[in-house]
Structure 1
Amino acid sequence: MIPAIDALRAIGWPWVGRPTAGPWAEVMDAHPKAGPARVIEQHRSGYVVANATDHAASVESPPEWQRPPGYRKGKVAPEDRAVVGDWVLVEDGRRIVALLPRRSAIKRGAAGEHYRQQLIAANIDVVLVVCGLDGDFNPRRIERYLLLVQAEGVTPVVVLTKADRPGADPEAALAALAGVAAQGVPVLALNARDPEAARALDPWLQPGATAVLVGSSGAGKSTLTNSLLGIERMKTAAVREHDARGRHTTTYRALIALPSGACLIDTPGMRELKPTGEEELAEGGFGEIEALAAQCRFRDCRHAAEPGCAVRAAVEAGTLDPGRLANYLKLRDEVAIASDRLASRLAQKPAPRPAAKPPARRPDGKPGRR
C-alpha cells in the first residue's frame, strides 16, 4: 500500500515509484498493509509523520522503541529508532510498524560517561553549518561540525549569518575559513533575514533534496528558515549582548517542505559536539593536513617535535594555520578515544542466541519426551 508517488516525492521520497528490489523492497513486502511516511517531528511522547506536504499525523511508535534503556526484553538502541528525516511504514494511519533503511545519517557522541550515539537527522543530502558573524563566530567549532556531519553522499555548506550586523567582517571570516574552503566546502556569508540573500542557497535546495541546519543557539537557523519559507513560521529571539549566546527557540527537530521543492530540517542548538569514533579526518575537512602527514619522515609522527615533520614545516612556512593544526590534533585524539570506546562496546555485545530446537515428538506425532 503506497500513497501517491508525487506527494511522497515532494517530501523527499528517493524512488520514482515503489522499490521492487533491495532492502527497501524487502521491508515493504514484509508489511503489505502498511504505507510509507516520513518522520517530520520527533517528541518524547512519539512521532509526527507525513505522506504529503499537507498531510501529517501523530503516530504510535513500536512497543520495543518505547522501552527504557536497560530493559531486558526487546531493547532497541536509540540509533536504531526513527529520527526526523527517516522513512517508516505506518499501518492503519496510526502506528509505525517498521523503519526503512537509511541512505545517510548525521550523528554525534551523546553526553555522559557511557558510550552512546545520538542521531541528529537521517536521509540527508545537504548539511548547512550555520554560524553568526558576531561573538558566535568560531572557525574551530565550524571545523568540528564538519568532522561530525560527514556522511556518504552528504554535501556540507558553511553559512555565515548576520553579515549585515554592525561590526561584522565577512572578509576576515572568509579568510579565517580559507583552509575549510580549500577542501571544497562552500562558505557563504549572508544576511539571514533577507529572503533574496537566502537565495544564494538555491543550488543546494533543489526539488527532492533534504537539508539540515546545524549550529549553536542564536546562530540564525530559525531566521534563515523563515527567509527560505517566505513566512515567519519559526520562533526567533535575540541573543545576549555580552556574549552573543542564544536561547533555544527551536526545542525539537522538525522537517519542513520549502517552496523550492526541497525539505529542510531545523534543529535545536548543540553546545556539546563529541565524535562517535567513526569519523575520518581526511573526509571531515582536514584533507590537506592528512596529505601533509603522509609526507612526514616517520609514519607514526605525532607532529610535535619529530624531525622531518611535513606538517610542522607547513606551519613554519606559513601555508598551514597553526590554529587549524591544533584543532586537528585535538580532534584526532578525541576520535581515537571514541573509536576505542566504540570497539569496547561492540566487543561487549552478547552473541546472538541460537535458535531454539523444536520440541521432541513421540512416535504418535504428539509433543513430549521420547
Structure 2
Amino acid sequence: MELEDLGYNDTVAQSMAGYNLDGLEPGRVVAEHRERYIVRTAAGEFDAEILGNLRFSAKGREDFPAVGDWVALSIYDSDFAIIHRILPRFSLLSRQAVGQFGEVQIIAANVDCAFLVQAIDRDFSINRFERYLTVCHSSSVSPVIVLTKTDLIDQSKKTELIELVKSRISDVPVIAVSNKTLDGYEDVKKLVERGKSYCMLGSSGVGKSTLLNNLAGKTVMRTDEISNSSNRGRHVTTHRELIVLESGGIVIDNPGMREFGIADSSFGLETAFDNIINFAQECKYNDCTHTNEKGCAVIDAVEKGKIDSDSYENYLKMERERAHFASTVAERRKKGKDLAKTIKSFKKNSMRIAT
C-alpha cells in the first residue's frame, strides 16, 4: 500500500521536513488500544508505543496520538515501532469525556468529512444532529447527514423526514440509505474521494458498521443481528479503526456514542445555529443570554415562528453545556497553576533551609 492511499500529501511531507525528522518514518495511526497503537506505513503495519519524553511532556489527552494522526516513528523490528512525534493536525474531532468534567476525549484526527448517521427508528433526533454539527463545525470537518434503515418506511414518510431535517438544518447534504436494498448508496459513494478521510458518528445500532461494509464491498467490520425487541443492531464496534476502501477513500469507524458532550465549541455553535446568531445581532443588549431579556430579538423570533422552538431550546442547552465545560477547564487550570506555585515555593524554602 502506498502512503498516498492513507492520505499522505504535500502538507504531511512538509511537516516531516520542517521538523527535521531524518531517519524517522511517516505513518498513520489506524487503531488505538489503551495507549498502544497500530500504525500503518509504506513498509506495513506496526505495533507502536510513544516515546517516554512525549508521554511525560503531554499536558492533556490532545497531546497523545489518536486514530487518524500522522506520526513520525522509528521501526525496530518486523512488528514494533516507537512514535517520536505527532505531526500537526488539520482537524480534530473531540467531545467531553463521559463522567470526567473538563476532560476531552479524542474521536478522530485529520478528518475531512463526517457522516452523521441516524436510523429512522424511535431514537431519531434532529437535536442530536445539531449536536454533531456543532462538533463538526468547531473542528473544521464537513458534515453529511445519513439516514439509514429507510426500507422500514414508505417513500412518502422518507420524504417527510428528509424535509423535516432540512427545515431545521440548512446547507448540509442529507442522504437516505437502506442497508438492506442499498438504495441511496450511490449518492454516498460519490462523496468518497481517494486520499480523503471520513468519520462515522452515531449511536450504537444505527448501522454505521454495515454502512462501512457496504461501501467497502466486503466485511471489514463485524456486525450483529437485529434485536427482535428493539429493532436495532446490537453494539459491536468496540474501538476506533481506520479502514482504507478499495475505491481509495479512508473511513474511521467509531463505537456508538449516545452521549456527545460539547467541548469548547463556541464557533461550532455559531455555525450550527446561524439562524439564531443572525437574530441575536439585533438584540437590545450585547450580552443578551436570549432567555428572559426584554428586547431580545431571538425570543421575539421564536414567538413569531421564525426560529424553530425545539432548535432554540437545544441551542440554549448546548450553550449552557459549553459554558460549564469552559468554566471547569478554567478551574482545573487555575488549580494546576496554584499547585505549581506551591511546589516552587516549597522547593525555594527547602533550598534556603539547606544553606
- TM-score of Structure 1 vs Structure 2, range by shorter chain: 0.7 to 0.9
For 2:89, the equivalent position in structure 1 comes to 102
* Residue 36 of structure 1 pairs with residue 26 of structure 2: yes
Give the aligned length: 336
User: Which deviates further from its counterpart, 214-223 or 294-303?
Assistant: 294-303
Query: What is the identity, as a one-letter code, of the residue corresponding to 2:9?
Result: P
Bigger helix share: 2
For 2:322, the equivalent position in structure 1 comes to 335
3-state DSSP of counterpart to 2:151: coil
CA deviations on 1:72-129 (whole Å, 9 max, x unpaired) are x655522211010001112125221221111110000112244111110000100111
User: Which deviates further from its counterpart, 275-284 or 244-253?
Assistant: 275-284
Shift of 1:150: 2.5
Contact 1:254 1:266 in 2 (8 A): yes
Shift of 1:291: 0.7
Query: What is the identity, as a one-letter code, of the residue corresponding to 2:276?
Result: I
1-structure distance, mates of 2:118, 2:17: 40
2-structure distance, mates of 1:310, 1:244: 43
Query: What is the identity, as a one-letter code, of the residue corresponding to 2:25?
Result: G
2-structure distance, mates of 1:25, 1:8: 16
* Residue 174 of structure 1 pairs with residue 166 of structure 2: no
* Residue 26 of structure 1 pairs with residue 38 of structure 2: no
2-structure distance, mates of 1:173, 1:150: 23
* Residue 56 of structure 1 pairs with residue 39 of structure 2: no
3-state DSSP of counterpart to 1:49: strand
3-state DSSP of counterpart to 2:73: strand
Unaligned runs of 5+ in 1: 1-5, 67-72, 355-370
Contact 1:193 1:223 in 2 (8 A): no
Contact 2:168 2:311 in 1 (8 A): no
* Residue 215 of structure 1 pairs with residue 205 of structure 2: no
Distance of aligned partners of 1:257 and 1:346 in 2 relative to their CA distance in 1, 3 Å threshold: same
For 2:137, the equivalent position in structure 1 comes to 150
Identity level (%): 34
Query: What is the identity, as a one-letter code, of the residue corresponding to 1:171?
Result: T
2-structure distance, mates of 1:261, 1:235: 21
Shift of 1:235: 1.3
Query: What is the identity, as a one-letter code, of the residue corresponding to 1:81?
Result: F
CA deviations on 1:203-232 (whole Å, 9 max, x unpaired) are 431111100001000011001001110112
Query: What is the identity, as a one-letter code, of the residue corresponding to 2:165?
Result: L
- The alignment's TM-score, normalised by the length of structure 1, stands at 0.82
Shift of 1:345: 2.7
CA deviations on 1:291-334 (whole Å, 9 max, x unpaired) are 11111223333333433332233223323211111101111111
2-structure distance, mates of 1:241, 1:143: 30
Say what the alpha-carbon RMSD is for the aligned residues: 2.7
Shift of 1:24: 4.3
3-state DSSP of counterpart to 2:321: helix
For 1:122, the equivalent position in structure 2 comes to 109
CA deviations on 1:138-166 (whole Å, 9 max, x unpaired) are 11111111112324542011111111114
3-state DSSP of counterpart to 1:158: strand
For 2:7, the equivalent position in structure 1 comes to 12
1-structure distance, mates of 2:168, 2:95: 20
Unaligned runs of 5+ in 2: 345-355
- The alignment's TM-score, normalised by the length of structure 2, stands at 0.85
Contact 2:175 2:184 in 1 (8 A): no
After superposition, residues 265-304 of structure 1 pair within 5 angstroms as 265-304=252-291
2-structure distance, mates of 1:16, 1:108: 26
Contact 1:24 1:101 in 2 (8 A): no
* Residue 86 of structure 1 pairs with residue 61 of structure 2: no
CA deviations on 1:274-307 (whole Å, 9 max, x unpaired) are 1112442544411111111111223333333433
Structure 1 runs of 4+ aligned residues shifted over 6 Å read 351-354
